[in-house]
Amino acid sequence: MSVDQRLLDLSALNLTRVENADNVDELPPKITFAREKLLEEAKRVIDAEGDHQKKAVSLVVIGHVDAGKSTLMGRLLYELGRLEEKARIANERGSSKAGKSSFSWAWGLDGTAEERERGITMDIALQSLATQHRQVTILDAPGHKDFIPNMISGASQADCALLVVDAATGQFEAGFDRGGQTREHLLLVRSLGVSQVIVAINKLDQVEWSDIRYEEICSLLKPFLLYSGFNPTKTKFVPVGAMQGVNLVTCESEDGKSLRQWYKGPTLVDLLDLLQPPTRDITSPLRIPISNVFKSHGSGAAVSGRLCGGVVQVGERLRILPGDETAIVKSIEVEGDSVPWTAAGSNATLYMTAIDPVHLAIGSVLCSTTDLVPLATMFTARIIIFDIQVPITAGTSVELFHHSRDVSATMSKLISIIDRVTGKVQKTNPRVLTKGSSAEVQISLRTSSISGPSSNSRGIPLETFTSNKDMGRILIRRGGETIGAGTYFHCVLENRYLKEYS
């Protein structure tokens, strides 16, 4: 039997047509609601939330390296039935075999081989738990200073914060003194809009459950929390022993006997149950900064992030900025459940179709095709300078952080120093900015190392703070240190790319 060599050549190049039902592209899902009907439905559901279901909040867990953050959350998940006994035993055996038996509870969240080998959290671990009145999304952030960008990404998705501090002698001081992550983390989360914080004073068993040590730490933290902008009415303190599970859900165990002698207050879960859920701005334009991109189970890709405004539904076509690509929402998951739509304030996973996954990048923003997020390459911002040693001058190179995106930028102009309380201009065209200064500055993006594929010179998605608080906040770092934070105020040079493609 003769074989046509040309057909073999075409077959090898995958140029021949093969009729196969499995290769037929599936039709994208249809939209369920018209926009006005969707807003009505969302408002109805949100107004009824709490009458018969738990209100949702997201919580970022922060603190200095080795304060016991992952151990605390792993033990808490176990106490609430979110970590199965089988998994606990496996983690205990695995950590003992690796010579890290004290990390067994942390293995419930630190899941990668590198995290377990090094004994530190490196990326954001996402979990959820339920209290009597709250459904809490947990974002376990890394404490090591090398992974501050990952911590910023997690904090930008949170409504509240749980600060874990190590009560052991010398350890609290190491985290709280200059260079420790306790101070920096508190400044970061407050700058990113988190206003509620629970302080869990951990490892009190190492100081014999001393009430004197507990009060000493509280007295040192309270003034700094006030300085950082936290309202005392939204700041709570709780003593815990994460390894023994003391005062996480209950304080009635034998290990908690010494603590009960002087502490009669709420447990950690009691305080989590009192966290106030976010205000859901469903009528504002849809904004979803992408915090993670991963391959979906079928075709297409999936992205996760927190909705900073608006409502999104299955079947909706979204624009990805920067870029000129669009995608269709195939399905939506919130807290592991498939939902037809979700609204501002939710941490959601969106499964996308009709797009090449290469166009979905961490730090990009999903928005409606009819209401695009602006892109900026040069803008003015109002910032507060933190406790810096080297003053800032015009031309200073910095790293600019906005949600999960970080870009190289320059402080191109120091416009004025302003009064922190009244906002009035105190000095124009200052030569330098020193610690504690409030100022208006001009920031220009540098085109050399903007993260994300094909992002050079396209600008970053920003909105004024008055338009969208979550989309208007920025952080500024230099040399591995956070030196300031502030809000996007005015666009000096709008991005031509957006004009050309919108």
- Mean pLDDT in residue range 140-168: 83
Ramachandran angles phi, psi of 465, nearest 5°: -60, -35
d(CA 31, CA 28): 9
Q: What is the mean pLDDT of residues 142-147?
A: 59
16 in Cβ contact with 9 (< 8 Å): no
User: What is the reported pLDDT for 449?
Assistant: 45
Question: Per residue in 44-94, pLDDT tens?
Answer: 988 877 556 788 899 999 999 889 988 898 899 999 988 777 777 676 667
More confident residue, 64 or 20: 64
The single-letter DSSP state of residue 241 is B
Q: What is the mean pLDDT of residues 433-443?
A: 95
pLDDT at 400: 96
The pLDDT of 206-219, averaged and rounded, is 97
pTM of the model: 0.84
Strand duo 301-306 + 292-295: pairing: antiparallel
The string of pLDDT tens digits covering residues 248-297 is: 999 999 999 999 999 999 999 999 999 999 888 999 999 999 999 988 77
Structure tokens at 415: 């416009």
- Cα–Cα distances in Å, from 379 out to 375, 417, 474? 10, 17, 12
**Mean pLDDT computed over 182-189:** 91
Strand duo 317-321 + 325-334: pairing: antiparallel
The pLDDT assigned to 53 comes to: 77
Residue 67, phi-psi category: left (phi > 0), alpha (psi -120 to 50), beta (remainder): alpha
Q: For residue 351, give the amino acid letter.
A: Y
Give the pLDDT confidence score for residue 141 in this predicted structure.
74
* pLDDT score of 450: 42
Parse the chain into domains and list their residue ranges.
35-48+280-368, 63-272, 375-501
Is 60 exceeded by the pLDDT of residue 115? no
Determine the pLDDT at residue 109: 60
pLDDT over 60 (residue 341) = yes
Query: Which fold would CATH assign to domain 375-501?
Result: Elongation Factor Tu (Ef-tu); domain 3 (2.40.30)
Distance CA 312, CA 303 (A): 13
Query: Residue 502: its pLDDT value, please?
Result: 35
pLDDT bracket for residue 143 (50, 70, 90): low
Query: Residue 362: what pLDDT?
Result: 93
Decide if pLDDT at 118 tops 50: no
Side chain identity, residue 279: T
Helices marked H in 55-133 — which ranges? 69-79, 85-97, 113-118
Check if 35-48+280-368 and 63-272 are the same fold: no
* pLDDT at position 147: 61
DSSP string, 196-208: EEEEEEE-GGGGT
Three-class secondary structure of residue 107 per DSSP: helix
pLDDT reading at 20 higher than 70? no
- Whether the pLDDT of residue 429 is over 60: the answer is yes
Fold of the CATH domain 63-272: Rossmann fold (3.40.50)
How far CA 291 is from CA of 126, 167, 294, 360, 413, in Å, comes to 12, 33, 10, 11, 31
* CATH (residue range 35-48+280-368): 2.40.30.10
- Once rounded to an integer, what is the mean pLDDT over residues 216-236? 96
The more confident residue out of 99 and 397 is 397
Strands (E), 158-262: 160-166, 196-202, 235-239
Task: Kindly report the length of the chain.
Answer: 502
